[in-house]
Copies of this chain bind each other. A is one copy, B any other.
Amino acid sequence: MKVIDGGITAVTGFEAAGIEAAVKYQNRKDMAIIYSTVPFKVAGTFTTNVVKAAPVLWDKDIVDNSPFAQAVIVNTGIANAGTGKEGMSYCEQEAKKASELLGIPQNAVLVGSTGVIGKHLPMDRICNGIEKLVVAKNGSIDAGHDAAKAIMTTDTCPKEIAVELELGGKKVVVGGMSKGSGMIHPNMCTMLGYVATDAAISKELLQEALSASVTDTYNMISVDGDTSTNDTCLLMANGLAGNAEITEKNDDYKAFCEALNYVNTFLAKKMAGDGEGATALFETTVYNAATKEEARTLAKSVICSNLTKAAIYGHDANWGRILCALGYSKVKFDPENVDIFVESKAGKIQLCKCGVENDYSEDEATKILSEPEVTVLVDMKMGNETASAWGCDLTYDYVKINADYRS
């Protein structure tokens, strides 16, 4: 497996575009299309929030009931959540417009929205946008890049990646894009993530591969603890690579899952590190936990702690807050067994040994914590399970961005 140039359009048969539709803001790309020249199978994971945006319900219906789909239309600016029955009508109008222009069935058109909750979609501008998208779409790397830019909201940079692997002598590509960067605490999925592949694989295994991967990637990041109404991750497979279709959990399936995990981990970490107002990617890896689930819970508790996040912003080796966050995670453990380390490009030191302070240099700790990527390592000494979670620091800018997000 190797990383290659581009994102979603690096996958054979996938085209994309990103254009300006003035959904809410002027002079910025705010609508995207993903299109495959042949139909694709699609797997999906969606928010567990009781309040689900209309596009989440629309896409879930297609994932559950349609054998194939062929396009995704996405807008930013307005989330099409808290819009009641009209929200579903907007999805239908979008799908109808795209199906007519693309010559594909209406239930082959997935839709995605992100932005302010409770406002209505301007359907005239959305429909004009779809017309522009259908004309603009193409399979170039630049087109994929435009789409990755168009789905951004408060993100500071587009997030995309593609990897290439070989399955039974055939070249297979997995490529994707995603966006954050507030209301990010995915539960079943990320805010918006779109991953495509040209691998031939059964729909059942496509869904199983996605669900398993999401648990250890998107579901292990948090920017602010707020699980969105719109979280959606779609995995699309059009089979154009020509490999023997994967229909069982053989070596090809394992290789495919490995590539998918690589793509999802990359996109998840990019989202965490580009969290609203963030100055640092803050990783926590818990090892020697009793169970995998406990390792995940402990790691996530640390990256979600506001106090720890503020300390990371201040480059302060406040390990007591880390121990405290482990302690309220609801996992049972003996504090007097816990070791805590911090690590970055600048080095690695132990802050806490068996639950009490280790003898370390505050200057060295500050130097390590001043890097843009910082890792906390926790040794639980209870078993053999490991998990990583990714978050970011809590900064003035997070507050600033969210105190006036709607204006």
Contact = CB atoms under 8 A, between A and B. Distances in A.
Interface of A: 48-52, 79, 81-84, 86, 116-119, 182-183, 185, 187, 224-229, 304-307, 310-311, 313-314, 316, 318-321, 323-329, 331-333, 335-336, 352, 354-357, 394-396, 398-407
A226 B226 CA distance: 15
Contacts of A401: 310
A403 B313 contact: yes
A50 B337 CA distance: 12
B314 A403 contact: yes
A402 B306 contact: yes
Given A229-B327, A324-B117, A51 B402 contact: no
A273 B288 CA distance: 41
Contacts of A404: 314, 316
Contact of A310 (B51, B355, B403): B403
B48 A323 contact: no
Most chain B Cβ neighbours within 10 Å, of A325, A327, A404: A327
A324 B226 contact: yes
A335 B117 CA distance: 13
9 contacts: A50-B333, A82-B323, A84-B354, A116-B318, A227-B324, A314-B404, A394-B399, A395-B399, A396-B400
B396 A399 contact: yes
Q: Which 4 A-B pairs have the closest CB atoms?
A: A117-B320, A314-B403, A51-B327, A310-B402
